[in-house]
Structure 1
């Protein structure tokens, strides 16, 4: 049960960092790079466009 609580805290911290990165990228008109759930490296642009590395 303690591990579930720790996992929830970690998940919230990760989500917060991702949200902050998106906000900063939008402010500077650039993109955020991360790995998606399928294992692809993607670029997410401020307009919401997402480009997988294999699609470039």
Structure 2
């Protein structure tokens, strides 16, 4: 059980590091990242810190 908890903690750390890296790449390329926030809403976060919710109209696949 302890091993499983360590694996979960390691996975959470990797997920955070991946998100941090995506933000750095977005800043370097002056673009944005897309993610789901705690409320379940899809968000575009631009390199300058601007945060915009994605609506169904924004998606070419809707």
Q: Are 2:59 and 1:46 equivalent residues in the alignment?
A: no
Pair 1:22 & 2:23 matched: yes
Could you tell me which runs of 5 or more consecutive residues in structure 2 were left unpaired when the two chains were aligned: none
SS at match of 1:38: coil
- CA distances 1:2-47 after superposition (whole Å, capped 9, x unpaired): 2111111000000110011000000000000011111111000111
Unaligned runs of at least 5 residues, structure 1: none
Q: Which whole-Å CA distance do the structure 2 matches of 1:3 and 1:51 have between them? A: 36
Counterpart of 1:39 in 2: which secondary structure? coil
- Aligned residue-pair number: 55
What is the RMSD of the two structures over their aligned residues, measured on CA atoms?
1.2
Q: What TM-score do you get using the length of structure 1 for normalisation? A: 0.88
Could you say which structure has the larger radius of gyration?
2
